[in-house]
Amino acid sequence: MNEGIDLPEAISNAFSYAIREALLYVGQTAPNPPVGCVILDQQGKILATAAHHEAGKLHAEALALRQCRVAGVWNKIHDVIVTLEPCNHIGRTPPCSESLLRTPARRIWVGVADPNPNVCGAGNERLRQGGKEVFLLRDLCGKKSLYWQKKCEDLIAPFIQSVTRGKAWITVKQALDVAGSMIPPIGKKTFTSFTSLCQAHQLRRGTEAIITGVNTIKEDNPSFTVRYVPDHPDRKRLLIICTKQQKPLEEIVPVNYIKNAEKNNFSLVTCSKIDDLPYLLHNHNILWGMVEGGPQLLQVIRQKKLWDEWLIFRKQNKGDDQLKLISNHLASPTRLLLSHFNFVDFSKRKEGTLCSLVS
C-alpha cells in the first residue's frame, strides 16, 4: 500500500472524464462492462478520451491509443488513466496490457481491479513486469483516490455481480403519488414530473432488459421504449414478462403487442419461476435489468429479495418529485448514472423500509 499517496489533480480530473465518457455507453456494452480511459501528456494535458462502445469493438484503452496515433501525439503519452484493470487475455480483441506496453506511457492509473477471479491482477502484473509504474486506487490512501475508486465500482457493479455471483443486477423503479399510491389518475399513464420522466428514461437507456408483469402488458400496453433522452442507436433489449402461466408467449400476450415490441427491437421472454429471474437474465447476457411493473409484481420481488436497488419517485404537493434510492449494496450504478439529479436520500436497505411502499 502506498501510504500517504493521493491522486495528483490532473489524474483526479482524468478519472472524472473517463467515467463521464464510459457513462455514455452504459446499457450498450453487455456482456462486457462499461470502461473509460483518458491519456495525458507529462504536463497533464489530455491527449485522448475514449470508452468501450460495445462487445466485440475496441476496448477503451485501445480506442484512446488509436486517437493518439491519429492525432500525431503518440510520443507524448505519459499517463494512462483507466476505470478498470486492462485485460491481459485474448478474447474478441487483443489484450490491452500488451498494447499499453508498446507505448511510451510511464504510469498506468487503474480505478478497480478486474473482478473476475480467473484474471484479477493479471493485467496490472503484466504491466509492472513490462516496466510500467501501476497505481491501483485501492492501494492509495487519499480522499480523492477513495472517491474515484467508489465511482469506478459504481460504474461496473452489475458486471461485478455477473462474474462473481452469476446473476444480473436488478433495479426496481417505482412511482408514487402524494398519498403513496402507484395508480395514476383515470385517463393518465403517469403522474410524475417531466424531470422524473427524464430520469426514468435515462435509467431505461442504461439497462439492457425490462422486467414487467403480464397484467401490466394487458392493462397498460406499454412500449418500454426510451424517450425524453436519446437512446443508443439500434439498441436491442430483452423484455421479461413475469407470469404464473406456463404457456407459449403467444397464448399469454396479445399477438399485436408482440409484433409491436419486436418492431421496437425487443426480444420477449416469459418467466414463470420468479426465483430464477436474476439467473434467467444472466443467461441472456444481461448485466442490468429494470423492473417496471405493478404493485403485485413489486411485492413479490420485495418478498423474494430479488432486487439490488429500489428507486422511488414520489410526487409532492409542491415542487419537484422526491427521488429516493435504496440499495442492497455499497455500490450503486443508478446513483452514478443519475448523478446529475438530486436524490433526497440514498441508503442501504433496512428491514421494513419498503413494506408500506408496495402494499
- Summarised one tens digit per residue, pLDDT across range 37-73 is 999 999 999 999 999 999 989 999 999 999 999 999 9
| Listed residue (223, 225, 243, 222) closest to 234, CA to CA | 225
Average pLDDT, the chain: 91
Q: Are residues 171 and 314 in the same domain?
A: yes
In the chain, the N- to C-terminal Cα span, in Å, equals 49
Residue 344, pLDDT > 60, answer no
In whole angstroms, give the CA distance from residue 102 to residue 130: 9
Per-residue burial over 239-273, b = 16 or more CB atoms within 10 Å of its CB, e = otherwise: bbbbbeeeeeeeebbeeebbeebeeeebebebbee
Q: Tell me whether residue 353 is in a domain.
A: no
CATH of the domain at 117: 3.40.140.10
CA nearest to 48, candidates 32, 37, 34, 33: 37
- Which listed residue (21, 61, 292, 309) is catalytic? 61
348 lies in some domain: no
The domain boundary, picked from 116, 131, 163, lies at 163
Quote the pLDDT of residue 141: 82
Helices (H) and strands (E) in the chain, counts: 12, 13
Coil, helix or strand at residue 343: coil
For residues 200 and 142, membership in a common domain is answered with no
User: Any catalytic annotation for residue 61?
Assistant: yes
Least confident range from 66-70, 236-240, 243-247: namely 243-247
Q: Which band of pLDDT confidence, cut at 50, 70 and 90, is reported for residue 356?
A: very low
Q: Do 79 and 113 share a domain, yes or no?
A: yes
- Its pTM stands at 0.91
Cell 443486477 identifies what position?
169
- Count the domains in the chain: 2
Residues 196 and 156 in one domain: no
**Average pLDDT score over residue span 130-159:** 96
Predicted confidence at residue 4, as pLDDT, reads 54
Burial of 74 (0-12, 13-18, 19+ CB in 10 A): middle
106 plus 49 within the same structural domain: yes
Residues 263 and 152 occupy one common structural domain: no
pLDDT in tens, 151-173: 999 999 999 999 999 999 999 99
For residue 320 the three cell numbers come to 419537484
User: Is residue 322 in some structural domain?
Assistant: yes
Q: Which residue has the higher pLDDT, 349 or 188?
A: 188
Residue 203 has pLDDT above 80, yes or no: yes
- Average pLDDT of span 215-220: 92
CATH code of 294's domain? 3.40.430.10
Task: Please tell me which residue, 238 or 359, carries the higher pLDDT value.
Answer: 238
- The answer to whether residues 45 and 157 belong to one domain is yes
Residues 140 and 13 in one domain: yes
pLDDT band of 346, cuts 50, 70, 90: low
Q: Kindly state whether residue 347 falls inside one of the protein's structural domains.
A: no
Cα 169 to Cα 23: distance, rounded to the nearest angstrom: 17
Domain range holding 179? 166-342
Confirm whether 47 is domain-assigned. Answer: yes
Angle of helix 9-23 versus helix 143-155 axis, rounded to 10: 10
- 7-34 per-position pLDDT tens digit: 999 999 999 999 999 999 999 999 999 9
pLDDT digits (tens, 9 = 90+) for 34-46: 999 999 999 999 9
CB 38 within 8 A of CB 49: yes
If asked whether residues 117 and 27 sit together in one domain, one would say yes
